[in-house]
Every structure is written in structure tokens, then in C-alpha cells.
């Protein structure tokens, strides 16, 4: 029951193959698709190639799979990460023409992501037309957010344009809840504050395993300070940028030149820590301050706090950032073991603590494979 998980970007294609026990048996990628020198990594097939399209990239990955002893014929299905499912696609599903049409209808909501996701699905259908395809959506986990949290205070005609809070990183949060259940022998804390911290960063309030509030909104730009994204800003400040730089220029500044990069000169937290400049220290402090401040808002939305969990590249690996955020959450009863945090242990809270604190490894690809297998087995 091997499942191929596909994550298609605008110029990249990443895949992983999982067996029936959800063990990863192969991973591969092609980067710089359409460029002069694409890079291929798929089993023993490694090196620079000219790769003109996602279909060509997928064909190379299949070639590498065959050489690695993972034949395409062994696949039972393919499963895709899709960034935006809009208001209609709120659960994993099998890909049909109707689903493709809905994903395409969401392109205006995620113009940098959904076109690439569609390209991946269509490229795979062209190469292996009889292989069933499934999709998991980054927005779906947040379909349980109450309407009062999802609606912007704008007229109905404006909301009809699709302007509402959708939230993202949902596949990561679904995986986190699953792993927290494993930690808790099948149960989850009633009120869990989850931080997905990486180049893209968000936080989510999860009550009884369901999202009730999250920091990202209409797009992944809102909320926390991120690698190159500004996070939350006054709408009039955005309009002023658009007035001076044009809409495209403002979008580039807010998405590509802001966040840690705009404040500290680097988008990578490790580079900022090594730099040690006043600007770098301020950028890190800004990141942590807004994580704590948004965390406090989510605690209010949940009506209290029983556990905190960190995932993502920064969340899993940066002890200093975790410590600063946890110190900022002390008002909510959070305590942590400094030694365990410095060592990157899975459990960070001391014995007898009122609030549990964990590091949870991100497993988005495995989550996507699991959701596809569940649907294949007849699950809802």
C-alpha cells in the first residue's frame, strides 16, 4: 500500500514514499525547475540536469525510484499537499475534476501556491493516469474555528470576495495533535497552544484537538514575525506602502523583504544568532515578543492553557527562542526545565507542572500519507 506524497512548488517538486506502516522508504526532490541547471535527488539519481517542467521533474523522480527498487507499479496512490482549499475543501479528499476546479477557484486566494499544487496533480495524472490521487489542505484544520473568529468586520460584499481568516499550517497542526495523542496514550490536553515556527511561522489555539483560533488569516502573511514576511500590520500601513510602491511592490516588500530579514538583515535565525549585532538581536526579540503576545491572545480564545507544543525548524531546534517564549508565557503558569530545553528533549516541563510543554517533530508528509490511506480504507 505504498503512497507517494507530492509537494509541488512553483519551481520545485518534493516527494516521499511511505509504506503501509507509514515508514518512509524513499524521499526525493527536484529544485530550480525551468532553470538552466536543475538539481535532482531521487534515490541513486543525483546531480544537475536540465528540467523544463514539473512533468519532466516527476519523470526523473520516477526513474530514480525505479533504480532505488521502489517501482512506480508498487504505488497504490499519490497524495498532495494543497495550500488553500477555501471554504469548500475542508477535509482530505480524493482528487476529481470537481476538486481540481475548486482548487483552481482558490488560486486568487493563494496565487503563489495553488497553481503549483495543480501543476503537480496534473503532471502526475498525465504520467500515471490510473493512479488514484488524494489531497490534504493546509487550511482544512482550521475549518472548526468559530465564525466570530473567522470573519473580518467588513461588509458582506467584501467578504464575498473570499476575504476571511482561513489559517494555514493545518497539516502540521493535524500531525502535531496526532503525535500529542501518542504522547498522552490517546488523549490530548483540553487547551493546547501550538507554535509552528520556521521561515513561515504561526500559532494555533487547539481545544480538544480542534482549532479554535490561529494567527494566520486570509493569507500566510498575517500574525507572527516570520523569515521574510512582516506578520500582522495595520491595513492603512499596507495601503500606504501600496500608494508609494504600487500593489506589486508592496506585496514584494511585505512577503519577501520584511520579517527577520527586514529587521536584522537575515531570514535565517541561525545567521542572526551568529551575527550578534544590535539589529540581529532586535529581530530575534521581535520574533519572540510577537509569539508571546499572540500566544496570550490564543490562550484567551481557549479560556486557559493546559499544554504548549513547539514544531517546525525553529520550534524544534532553537533552544534560545523557545526559552524566551516560554519565559514570556510564565503568566499563564508555564514552567520549563532549562536543561531539558537546552538538550532539545521532547518533554520540557518539570515534574508536577500545571502546564505541559513539548517539542514535537514536524511530520507533514507522513500526515498526508496517513490521511490518504485512511480515505483509501473507507474512512471519513
CA 104 from centre of chain? 20
Phi, psi of 48, deg, nearest 5 = -85, 140
Mean per-residue pLDDT over the chain, rounded: 95
Report if residue 167 sits inside a domain: no
341 lies in the same domain as 215? yes
Let me know: does 65 contact 74? Beta carbons within 8 Å. no
Out of 19, 138, 337, 354, the active site residue is: 138
Q: Mean per-residue pLDDT for 309-322?
A: 98
90 lies in the same domain as 202? no
104 lies in the same domain as 231? no
Phi, psi of 237, deg, nearest 5 = -65, -40
Report if residue 375 sits inside a domain: no
352: left (phi over 0), alpha (psi -120 to 50) or beta: left
- Asked if pLDDT for residue 185 goes beyond 90, the answer is no
Given CA atoms 126, 128, 134, 139 in this order, what sign does their dihedral have? negative
130 lies in the same domain as 254? no
**What 8-state DSSP symbol labels residue 89?**
-
Report if residue 14 sits inside a domain: yes
129 lies in the same domain as 190? no
Phi, psi of 33, deg, nearest 5 = -60, 130
Packing angle between helix 97-105 and helix 114-127, nearest 10 degrees? 160
Report if residue 171 sits inside a domain: no
- Asked if pLDDT for residue 169 goes beyond 90, the answer is yes
203 lies in the same domain as 290? yes
Residue 196, SS3 per DSSP: strand
Rounded CA gap, 312 and 258, in Å?
20
The grid coordinates listed for 362 are 514536524
Q: How much is the pLDDT for 380?
A: 67
Number of separate domains in the chain: 2
For residue 142, how many other CB atoms are within 10 A of its CB?
Answer: 25
Residue 166, SS3 per DSSP: coil
338 lies in the same domain as 202? yes
Report if residue 177 sits inside a domain: no
Q: Mean per-residue pLDDT for 159-177?
A: 96
Known catalytic membership, residue 318: no
pLDDT digits (tens, 9 = 90+) for 66-104: 999 999 999 999 999 999 999 999 999 999 999 999 999
Report if residue 43 sits inside a domain: yes
Q: Mean per-residue pLDDT for 131-136?
A: 97
Report if residue 155 sits inside a domain: no
116 lies in the same domain as 198? no
CA quadruple 254, 203, 211, 14: dihedral, nearest 10: 70
Let me know: does 307 contact 236? Beta carbons within 8 Å. no
29 lies in the same domain as 130? yes
Q: How much is the pLDDT for 217?
A: 96
Final residue belonging to a domain, choices 74, 108, 137: 137
Residue 10, SS3 per DSSP: coil
Q: Mean per-residue pLDDT for 340-366?
A: 97
343 lies in the same domain as 210? yes
Final residue belonging to a domain, choices 137, 152, 174: 137
Report if residue 345 sits inside a domain: yes
Q: What b/e sequence results for 328-363 when a residue is b if at least 16 CB atoms lie within 10 Å of its CB, and e otherwise?
A: bbeebebbbbeebbeeeeeebbeeebebbbbbbebb
8 lies in the same domain as 112? yes
Domain of 108: which CATH number?
3.30.420.40
Rounded CA gap, 152 and 172, in Å?
25
Task: Supply the range of the domain harboring residue 27.
Answer: 2-137
Q: What string of DSSP letters covers 11-49?
A: S-EEEEEE-TT--EEEEEEEESTTSSSEEEEETTEEEEE
129 lies in the same domain as 274? no
Amino acid at each position: 500500500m505504498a503512497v507517494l506524497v507530492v509537494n509541488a512548488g512553483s519551481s520545485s517538486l518534493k516527494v516521499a514514499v511511505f509504506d503501509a506502516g507509514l515508514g518512509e522508504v524513499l524521499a526525493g526532490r527536484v529544485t530550480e525547475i525551468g532553470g538552466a541547471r536543475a538539481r535532482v535527488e531521487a534515490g541513486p539519481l543525483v546531480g544537475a540536469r536540465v528540467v523544463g517542467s514539473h512533468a519532466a521533474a516527476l519523470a526523473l523522480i520516477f526513474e530514480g525510484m525505479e533504480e532505488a527498487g521502489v517501482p512506480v507499479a508498487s504505488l497504490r496512490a499519490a497524495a498532495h499537499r494543497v495550500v488553500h482549499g477555501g471554504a469548500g475543501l475542508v477535509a482530505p479528499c480524493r482528487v476529481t475534476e470537481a476538486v481540481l476546479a475548486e482548487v483552481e477557484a482558490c488560486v486568487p486566494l493563494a496565487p503563489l501556491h495553488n497553481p503549483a499544487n495543480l501543476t503537480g496533480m496534473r503532471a502526475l495524472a498525465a504520467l500515471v493516469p490510473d493512479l488514484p490521487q488524494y489531497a490534504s489542505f493546509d487550511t482544512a484544520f482550521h475549518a472548526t474555528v468559530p465564525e466570530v473568529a473567522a470573519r473580518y468586520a467588513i461588509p458582506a460584499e467584501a467578504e464575498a470576495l473570499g476575504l476571511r481568516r482561513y489559517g494555514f499550517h493545518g497539516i502540521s497542526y493535524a500531525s502535531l495533535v496526532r503525535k500529542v495523542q501518542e504522547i498522552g496514550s490517546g488523549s490530548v490536553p483540553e487547551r493546547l497552544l501550538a507554535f509552528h515556527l520556521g521561515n513561515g511561522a504561526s500559532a494555533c489555539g487547539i481545544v480538544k484537538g480542534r482549532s479554535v483560533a490561529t494567527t494566520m488569516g486570509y493569507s500566510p502573511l498575517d500574525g507572527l514575525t516570520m523569515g521574510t514576511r512582516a506578520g500582522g500590520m495595520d491595513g492603512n500601513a499596507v495601503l500606504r506602502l501600496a500608494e508609494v510602491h504600487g500593489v506589486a511592490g508592496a506585496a514584494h516588500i511585505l512577503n519577501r523583504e520584511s520579517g527577520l530579514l527586514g529587521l536584522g538583515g537575515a531570514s535565517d535565525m541561525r545567521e542572526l544568532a551568529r551575527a550578534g549585532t544590535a539589529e540581529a538581536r532586535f529581530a530575534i526579540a521581535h520574533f519572540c515578543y510577537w509569539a508571546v503576545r499572540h500566544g496570550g491572545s490564543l490562550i484567551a480564545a481557549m479560556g486557559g492553557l493546559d499544554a504548549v507544543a513547539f514544531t517546525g525548524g525553529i520550534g524544534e531546534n532553537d533552544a534560545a527562542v523557545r526559552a524566551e517564549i516560554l519565559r514570556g508565557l510564565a503568566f499563564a503558569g508555564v514552567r520549563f526545565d532549562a536543561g531539558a530545553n537546552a538538550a532539545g528533549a521532547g518533554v520540557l516541563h518539570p515534574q508536577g507542572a500545571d502546564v505541559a510543554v513539548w517539542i514535537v517533530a514536524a511530520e507533514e508528509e507522513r500526515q498526508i500519507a496517513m490521511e490518504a490511506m485512511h480515505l483509501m480504507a473507507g474512512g471519513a
